[in-house]
């Protein structure tokens, strides 16, 4: 399984990419990764459109690829569910993640 | 692999089983101490939000200063409070109160920086434009620091300022609250919301961003006693990692602040992006195309000379608070500032402002 998190907008308007692949993780972390993704309910509860965006708030896109269909969902800071915020924080906390700035 | 279609909330019951927010959960399931703290935080947050939603709507619809309205108490003294989000997130805003108005500094430097920056911004609007806080009637300035974990952003959530600590990967750790122009930028979003109400999308959104940069820069220049000619015209100077660049934006030279800066300085290079919640598209390029009105302001201020807040700042402030509407486009903003330059000053100021908008390709 592979997750790609894009964060854009925000005060700087910079687009940051964070990627994490199961293949890079130790076995126990890989299991935890799967469970964090499942708990985030990405496919089941996607973001509602935001009518009045908060100025400078970040926009998020999460893409999860595994054996089934690709899950690709977008959130705003306003619509980001707590479960997805926790998933993003979990990925951010992994030393195996790969980060880059999109230009 | 099959690409799933981008989905939006269709109100399905699945969404209702998403984990409840942390405060709500603590209010119901926490220990007695947690429940008390959660209920207090929820009440604070709800009160701030409902008060500001009502005020903003009335301000925009009636074009009234709240102080003119019977039934609303005007607060002559400033009110300013800083909270600690304790590395949680949206559901714990504003967080735990750390420092209120006229309370002494605390040990947490981010709290003191948010306090001092809000205070300096309040004083700028009061001294230069005779404006008592965001709504002109002493609205409390609320900030939350330590939002999220290593969070690389600061924003205005419609009710308050919110600051992350920075991760050290984009923003320097602690950089966001250290930057007075960033604090003034966020507070100005509040003024825009309560006055012109510029929608946060495409050209009105780029104007919204630009007014925040304009007054963010002016608050910094005022605090440093700098003339337009002496100013660096940078927004967020020194808060990005040095490897990325020197600042978030250059108002005078858009597109040169950091590696990958896509800001245009002329309408010929306007970047027409959709507003589709795609992080790559920045609400229709609001932080990208703001380079055009930003450069117009810097050019006008330099042409008018002296301190930028005396003439150019006054013209832009009047445009924001009395002329523009939620859907105003670049041309309308340009014409409003040209007309105001003539009304507030004279034909030479009018020509200088017109010349600035002409140089960036908005007026001919």
Q: Does B286 contact A at CB distance below 8 Å? A: yes
Residues of B in contact with A58 (CB under 8 A): 153, 155, 279
Output the average pLDDT for chain A: 90
Q: Which of B30, B13, B91 is nearest to A84 (CA)?
A: B91
Give domain status of residue B7, yes or no: no
Check which CATH number belongs to the domain holding B307 and give it: 1.10.390.10
Q: Does B157 contact A at CB distance below 8 Å? A: yes
Number of domains in chain B: 2
- Indicate whether B237 and B303 sit together in one domain: yes
Tens of pLDDT, residues B148-177: 999 999 999 989 999 999 999 899 999 999
What part of A 11-70 touches B (C-beta under 8 Å)?
11-16, 39, 41, 43-50, 52-61, 65, 68-70
Give domain status of residue B9, yes or no: no
What part of B 40-79 touches A (C-beta under 8 Å)?
none
Q: Which of B122, B76, B117, B72 is nearest to B99 (CA)?
A: B117
Cβ neighbours, 10 Å, residue B356: 27
DSSP 3-state assignment of B76? Answer: coil
Residues of A in contact with B186 (CB under 8 A): 11, 55-56
- Indicate whether B30 and B102 sit together in one domain: yes
Å between B286 CA and nearest CA of chain A: 8
State residue B130 phi and psi, 5-degree precision: 55, 40
Give domain status of residue B221, yes or no: yes
- Indicate whether B206 and B173 sit together in one domain: no
Q: Does A96 contact B at CB distance below 8 Å? A: no
Q: Which of B157, B76, B74, B81 is nearest to B119 (CA)?
A: B81
For B299-314, letters b (16+ CB in 10 Å) and e give bbbbbbeebbbebbbb
Contact of B144 with B84, CB cutoff 8 Å: yes
Query: Number of H helices and number of E strands within chain A?
Result: 2, 5
Give domain status of residue B135, yes or no: yes
Tens of pLDDT, residues B3-51: 333 333 332 222 221 223 444 544 555 555 545 555 555 555 555 555 5
- Indicate whether B52 and B171 sit together in one domain: yes
Tell me how long chain B is.
364
Q: Tokens 């607060």 — which residue?
A: B75
Q: For chain B, how far is it from start to end, CA to CA, in angstroms?
A: 52
Number of domains in chain A: 1
DSSP label of B87: T
Give domain status of residue B83, yes or no: yes
- Indicate whether B251 and B160 sit together in one domain: no
Q: Tokens 């009160």 — which residue?
A: B47
Check which CATH number belongs to the domain holding B169 and give it: 3.10.170.10
Give domain status of residue B220, yes or no: yes
Cα dihedral sign, A95-A98-B1-B6: positive
Q: Does B91 contact A at CB distance below 8 Å? A: yes
- Indicate whether B214 and B349 sit together in one domain: yes
What count of Cα atoms within 13 Å lies in the side-chain half-sphere of residue B99? 21
Domain encompassing residue B343: 202-359
Q: Which of B277, B274, B158, B273 is nearest to A46 (CA)?
A: B277
CB-CB under 8 Å, A53 with B283? yes
State residue B295 phi and psi, 5-degree precision: -65, -35
Tens of pLDDT, residues B97-114: 999 999 999 999 999 999
* Cα B14 to chain centroid, rounded: 35
* Domain end (from B145, B178, B211): B178
Give domain status of residue B15, yes or no: no
Tens of pLDDT, residues A48-98: 556 778 999 999 999 999 888 889 999 999 888 889 999 999 999 999 999
Give domain status of residue B237, yes or no: yes
SS3 of B120-186: the string is: HHHHHHHHHHCCCCCCCCCCCEEEEEEECCCCCCEEECCCCEEEECCCCCCECCCHHHHCHHHHHHH
- Tokens representing B313 are 């700042």
- Indicate whether B165 and B214 sit together in one domain: no
Q: Which one of B140, B146, B186, B354 is the catalytic residue?
A: B186
Entry pTM: 0.86
pLDDT at A24 over 80: yes
In this complex, the residue of A14, A80, A85 whose CB is nearest that of residue B170 is A14
Instruction: Determine the longest span between alpha carbons in chain B, in angstroms.
Output: 68
**Considering only alpha carbons, which residue of chain A is nearest residue B213?**
A11
Can you tell me the ipTM of this complex? 0.92
* Domain end (from B115, B144, B178): B178
Examine the residue annotation and report whether B3 is marked as an active-site residue of this protein: no
Q: Which one of B146, B189, B287, B354 is the catalytic residue?
A: B287
| Predicted confidence pLDDT, tens digits, chain B (364 residues) | 333 333 333 322 222 212 234 445 445 555 555 455 555 555 555 555 555 555 555 555 554 444 444 344 455 567 899 999 999 988 899 999 999 999 999 999 999 999 999 999 999 999 999 999 999 999 999 999 999 999 999 999 989 999 999 999 899 999 999 999 999 999 999 999 999 999 999 999 999 999 999 999 999 999 999 999 999 999 999 999 999 999 999 999 999 999 999 999 999 999 999 999 899 999 999 999 999 999 999 999 999 999 999 999 999 999 999 999 999 999 999 999 999 999 999 999 999 999 999 999 999 9
Q: Does B208 contact A at CB distance below 8 Å? A: yes
Domain encompassing residue A17: 2-102
Residues of A in contact with B171 (CB under 8 A): 12
d(CA B125, CA B219): 9
CA B216-B160-B174 angle, 5° bins: 60
Examine the residue annotation and report whether B186 is marked as an active-site residue of this protein: yes
In this complex, the residue of A13, A41, A93 whose CB is nearest that of residue B288 is A13
d(CA B60, CA B326): 9
């Amino acid at each position: 399984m592979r997750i790609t998190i894009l964060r854009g907008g925000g005060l700087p308007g910079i687009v940051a990419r964070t990627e994490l692949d199961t293949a890079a993780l130790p076995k126990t972390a890989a299991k935890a990764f799967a469970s964090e993704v499942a708990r985030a309910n990405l496919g089941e509860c996607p973001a509602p459109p935001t009518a009045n965006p908060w100025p400078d708030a970040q926009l998020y896109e999460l893409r999860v690829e595994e054996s089934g269909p690709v899950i690709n969902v977008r959130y705003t800071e306003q619509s980001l569910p707590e479960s997805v915020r926790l998933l993003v924080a979990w990925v951010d906390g992994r030393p195996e993640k790969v980060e880059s700035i999109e230009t | 692999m099959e690409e799933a279609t981008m989905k939006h909330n269709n109100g399905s019951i699945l969404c209702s089983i998403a984990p409840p927010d942390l405060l709500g959960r603590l209010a119901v399931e926490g220990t007695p101490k947690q429940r008390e703290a959660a209920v207090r935080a929820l009440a604070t947050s709800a009160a701030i939000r409902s008060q500001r939603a009502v005020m903003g709507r009335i301000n925009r619809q009636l074009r009234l200063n709240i102080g003119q309205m019977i039934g609303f108490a005007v607060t002559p003294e400033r009110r300013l409070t800083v909270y600690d989000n304790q590395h949680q997130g949206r559901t714990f805003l504003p967080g735990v109160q750390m420092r209120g108005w006229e309370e002494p500094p605390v040990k947490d430097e981010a709290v003191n920086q948010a306090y001092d920056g809000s205070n300096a911004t309040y004083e700028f609007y009061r001294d230069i434009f005779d404006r008592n806080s965001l709504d002109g009637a002493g609205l409390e300035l609320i900030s939350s620091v330590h939002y999220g974990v290593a969070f690389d952003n600061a924003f205005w959530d419609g009710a308050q300022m919110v600051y992350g600590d920075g991760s050290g990967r984009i923003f320097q750790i602690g950089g966001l609250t250290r930057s007075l122009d960033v604090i003034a930028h966020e507070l100005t979003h509040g003024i825009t919301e309560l006055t012109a109400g510029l929608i946060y999308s495409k050209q009105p959104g780029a104007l919204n961003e630009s007014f925040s940069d304009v007054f963010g820069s002016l608050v910094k220049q005022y605090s440093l006693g700098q003339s337009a000619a002496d100013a660096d015209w940078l927004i967020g100077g020194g808060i990005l990692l040095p490897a990325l660049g020197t600042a978030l934006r250059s108002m005078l030279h858009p597109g040169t602040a950091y590696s990958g800066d896509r800001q245009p300085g002329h309408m010929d290079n306007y970047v027409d992006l959709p507003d589709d919640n795609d992080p790559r598209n920045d609400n229709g390029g609001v932080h990208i195309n703001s380079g055009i009105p930003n450069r117009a302001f810097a050019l006008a201020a330099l042409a008018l000379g002296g301190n930028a807040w005396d003439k150019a700042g006054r013209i832009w402030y009047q445009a924001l608070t009395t002329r523009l509407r939620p859907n105003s486009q670049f041309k309308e903003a340009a014409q409003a500032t040209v007309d105001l330059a003539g009304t507030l000053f004279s034909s030479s100021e009018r020509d200088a402002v017109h010349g600035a908008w002409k140089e960036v390709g908005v007026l001919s």
